[in-house]
């Protein structure tokens, strides 16, 4: 039985298009015929909003995994979405990060359970922006990391901070972890600052790791309000065009650079 490949969407800074990217790339995986599970580890719980999922207040969430008293199987938290092949595990907006046990392998063990692993080709993790045990769990469980960033100096610093955490985890906890790429969002190359920040990121990480760019598009915000991926809400929009391009570039890079484990 093959195990799913695990992609974490992450940045140390909030407001960088992380959840928009997680929702829309997960939708692209599912639309391409790959069984996909999106797991929201960010307590804002915006993945549910972006996919139009509404659950009862007592429904299990991803954060129940990190209960110190009675952690539950992750399979109990999985819900179907309106899109074939795309399932979701929502987040708990009331979860306090200091409640999580000091164990960086909780998520990895849960994702390796046969009852879950056999169901999916891809698992996409929307990580929290905070540096804590949940972010470390996401990086420790993943095979690949994708870093969306806004072309703003503060976001550039968030990428550099995340890179330090990434390489520490890769060296000490997860030898399979690879940096898939970086994705500029809300991009406008007419703005000098946007060009400068992107040039700095390219200088640090290499042009081959930049997976296109997502231009500013009000349709992306509208699609979240409508509870639909951009491919469904506005297929002719530039937001959808850009995410389609980013997904194609992502797939090309996956073929070129298999993970260390060969999965």
72 Cβ partners below 8 Å, 6+ apart?
A: 60, 64, 65
219 found inside a domain: yes
263 found inside a domain: no
Segment 161-195, tens digit of pLDDT: 888 888 899 999 899 999 998 998 886 667 667 77
262 found inside a domain: no
Residue identified by tokens 């169901």 is 119
Q: How many CB atoms lie within 10 A of CB 121?
A: 17
Q: Does 258 score more than 70 pLDDT?
A: no
**Pairing verdict, β 144-149 and 122-126:** unpaired
209 found inside a domain: yes
- Give the domain CATH number at 88: 3.40.50.300
174 found inside a domain: yes
Higher pLDDT, 103 or 156: 103
Report the SS3 class of residue 145: strand
Task: Give the pTM.
Answer: 0.92
User: What pLDDT is attached to residue 207?
Assistant: 80
177 found inside a domain: yes
Q: Does 25 score more than 50 pLDDT?
A: yes
Q: Does 259 score more than 70 pLDDT?
A: no
35 found inside a domain: yes
If one counts the domains in the chain, the total is 1
Segment 232-251, tens digit of pLDDT: 999 999 999 999 999 999 99
261 found inside a domain: no
241 Cβ partners below 8 Å, 6+ apart?
A: none
Q: Does 227 score more than 90 pLDDT?
A: yes
Average pLDDT over residues 13-20: 82
Q: Does 204 score more than 60 pLDDT?
A: yes
* Domain around 18: 5-256
Q: Give the ranges where the chain is alpha helix by DSSP (H).
A: 18-31, 46-50, 106-111, 114-117, 133-141, 153-172, 192-205, 218-226, 230-233, 238-256
């Amino acid at each position: 039985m093959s195990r799913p490949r695990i992609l974490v969407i992450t940045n140390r800074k909030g407001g960088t298009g992380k959840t928009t990217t997680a929702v829309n790339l997960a939708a692209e995986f599912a639309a391409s015929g790959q069984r996909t599970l999106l797991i929201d580890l960010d307590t804002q719980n915006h993945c549910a909003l972006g996919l139009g999922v509404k659950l009862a207040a007592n429904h299990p969430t991803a954060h129940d995994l990190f209960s110190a008293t009675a952690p539950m199987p992750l399979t109990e938290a999985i819900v179907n979405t309106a899109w074939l092949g795309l399932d979701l595990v929502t987040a708990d907006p009331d979860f306090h990060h200091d409640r999580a046990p000091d164990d960086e392998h909780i998520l990895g063990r849960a994702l390796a359970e046969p009852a879950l692993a056999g169901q999916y080709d891809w698992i996409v993790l929307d990580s929290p922006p905070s540096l804590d045990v949940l972010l470390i769990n996401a990086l420790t469980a993943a095979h690949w990391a994708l870093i969306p960033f806004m072309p703003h100096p503060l976001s550039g610093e968030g990428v550099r901070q995340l890179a330090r955490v990434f390489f520490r985890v890769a060296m000490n906890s997860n030898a399979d972890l690879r940096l898939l790429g970086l994705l500029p969002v809300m991009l406008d190359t007419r703005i000098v600052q946007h060009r400068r920040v992107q040039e700095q990121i390219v200088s640090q990480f290499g042009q081959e790791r930049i997976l296109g760019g997502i231009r500013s598009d009000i349709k992306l915000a509208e699609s979240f309000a409508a509870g639909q991926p951009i491919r469904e809400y506005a297929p002719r929009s530039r937001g959808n065009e850009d995410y389609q391009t980013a997904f194609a570039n992502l797939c090309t890079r996956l073929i070129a650079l298999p993970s260390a484990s060969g999965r």
